[in-house]
Amino acid sequence: MVLSVNERTFTKEVLESEVPVLVNFEAPWCGLCRIIKPLLLQFKSQCGEEIKLVGVNADNNFKLSTAYRLTTLPTLLLIENGIVLHRLEGFSGREDLFAALAEMKYCYTNLPKTYGGRVSLSAESQLTRTGV
């Protein structure tokens, strides 16, 4: 199940979320939006509690649509701590979206995790090894 958020609940459910949030901007008239929904649910089940999935009706939430400069639907944003980490838009179908989600999951799960403003020890080791 996808949690539906709006302008009133967006800050609490997305920007203040303890886990990263994949925001699906969609509209009832958008055919591709309906087609990708099962893939998003599959992606969510693969990620478990690591990522939250929410849906936003772009037509009913004009301020959010404007704030995130939507030019096409569906548009997917991975937001963590109020920052857009990934933006997916303009994909042509299921295979394209599946590849983009797989890449996003790979990139996200291989990033250093921070706890209380500090990078974890294993992440510090990774940063040292990569020369960052």
Instruction: Please tell me which residue in 27, 30, 32, 39 is annotated as part of the active site.
Output: 30
> In a 10 Å sphere around its CB, with 0-12 CB exposed, 13-18 middle and 19+ buried, how is residue 59 labelled?
middle
Cα distance between residue 28 and residue 127, in whole Å: 44
Instruction: Please tell me which residue in 33, 54, 56, 79 is annotated as part of the active site.
Output: 33
Q: Dihedral, CA atoms, 68, 21, 39, 99, nearest 10 degrees?
A: 70
Please say if 30 is a catalytic residue. Answer: yes
Cα distance between residue 62 and residue 70, in whole Å: 10
Active site residues: 30, 33
